[in-house]
Amino acid sequence: MAAELTELEARLFEWLRQSDFHLTPWSTEDAAQVFEVEDDDVYEAIASLTKKVPERIQVFYKDGSLHIAVE
């Protein structure tokens, strides 16, 4: 990857890559439970990913929900 990722960022990125959050609405609360961290940690990791690997992640708002696409 373009920049060095933290452990949480790398795990989250791989989870996002294997998921369908581009079709299914995103839930920060669910992600925080999966990774056993606080909601804010998930938000910070996603924000960091958009800076560190912007060509591989897209975060967008559609139909009242947040969606995340990763390749």
Task: Give per-residue pLDDT as tens, 9-29.
Answer: 999 999 999 988 878 888 999
Cα first-last separation, the chain: 12
Q: Enumerate domains of the chain plus CATH numbers.
A: 7-70 (1.10.10.10)
Q: Give average pLDDT by consecutive 10-residue segment, the chain, 71 residues.
A: 82 92 87 97 96 93 87 88
What mean pLDDT value characterizes the chain?
90
pLDDT at 3 (0 to 100): 62
- pTM score, whole prediction: 0.84
Round to whole Å and give the CA distance between 66 and 60.
6
